[in-house]
């Protein structure tokens, strides 16, 4: 007569399997929630930035000031500055690191505003996301130009979003596949390599670049 009562090892195996299934489902749900949060963050905030730049009811200087305030609340400038300094951060003094971070912030705001001013009048559409690691998500978007009749695909702009103790921040973005912070790190490393690793020289160079990049929004 066959046994009808499961053996202890069979019960344990089923329990372990059930726990595995539950943990997998929980992880998938958590990942999906994190991805959705990052997508919503980008859709809401980048659209807000474009709205600021499109607001012709205020002066150029007001738009610039509003966009700067908006950008500083959206990004982790200190983290980006440390990344772009690359290997030279290890030999920079604390004072040089702080001065560089301040100069980089001025330069980065001018660069970001210049990038997004080019696309004023367009709208942002989130098309998906990919989690690189827990709390580290790439959000893919397209900039839609309502006046474009060329039939060409819309420009892809991707944003790297980190969760910093539950607060979402932008740490990099790419236009047509070129990541800005990575490009800046390569350029700064090249400049420092040609200038004896002098951080003060790079700081002065950043101030010059910021003045050259800064253009009023149209």
pLDDT, tens digit (0-9, with 9 covering 90-100), for 91-110: 999 999 999 999 999 999 98
pLDDT, tens digit (0-9, with 9 covering 90-100), for 10-67: 555 555 554 544 444 344 445 577 789 999 999 988 888 888 888 888 888 888 888 8
Residue 168 pLDDT > 80, yes or no?
yes
CATH superfamily for domain 8-213: Tgt2/MlaC (3.10.450.710)
Closest CA to 47 of 126, 111, 140: 126
Q: Which residue has the higher pLDDT, 198 or 153?
A: 198
pLDDT at 29: 44
Confidence of residue 86 (pLDDT cuts 50, 70, 90): very high
- Structural domain spans, the chain: 8-213
- Within 10 angstroms of residue 192's Cβ, the number of other Cβ atoms is 21
**140 in Cβ contact with 42 (< 8 Å):** no
């Amino acid at each position: 007569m066959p046994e009808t009562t499961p053996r202890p090892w069979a019960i344990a195996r089923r329990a372990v399997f059930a726990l595995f299934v539950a943990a997998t489902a929980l992880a998938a749900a958590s990942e999906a929630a994190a991805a959705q949060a990052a997508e919503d963050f980008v859709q809401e905030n980048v659209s807000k930035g474009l709205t600021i730049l499109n607001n012709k009811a205020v002066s150029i200087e007001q738009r610039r000031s509003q966009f700067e305030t908006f950008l500083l609340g959206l990004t982790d400038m200190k983290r980006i500055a440390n990344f772009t300094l690359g290997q030279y951060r290890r030999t920079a003094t604390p004072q040089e690191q702080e001065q560089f971070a301040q100069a980089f912030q001025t330069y980065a705001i001018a660069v970001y505003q210049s990038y997004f001013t080019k696309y004023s009048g367009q709208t942002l559409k989130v098309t998906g996301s990919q989690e690189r690691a827990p709390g580290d998500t790439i959000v893919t978007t397209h900039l839609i130009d309502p006046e474009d009749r060329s039939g060409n695909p819309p420009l892809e702009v991707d944003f790297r979003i980190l969760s910093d103790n539950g607060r979402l921040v932008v740490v990099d973005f790419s236009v047509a596949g070129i990541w800005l912070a990575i490009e800046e790190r390569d350029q700064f490393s090249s400049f420092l390599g040609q200038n004896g690793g002098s951080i003060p020289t790079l700081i002065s160079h950043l101030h010059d670049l910021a003045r050259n990049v800064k253009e009023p929004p149209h």
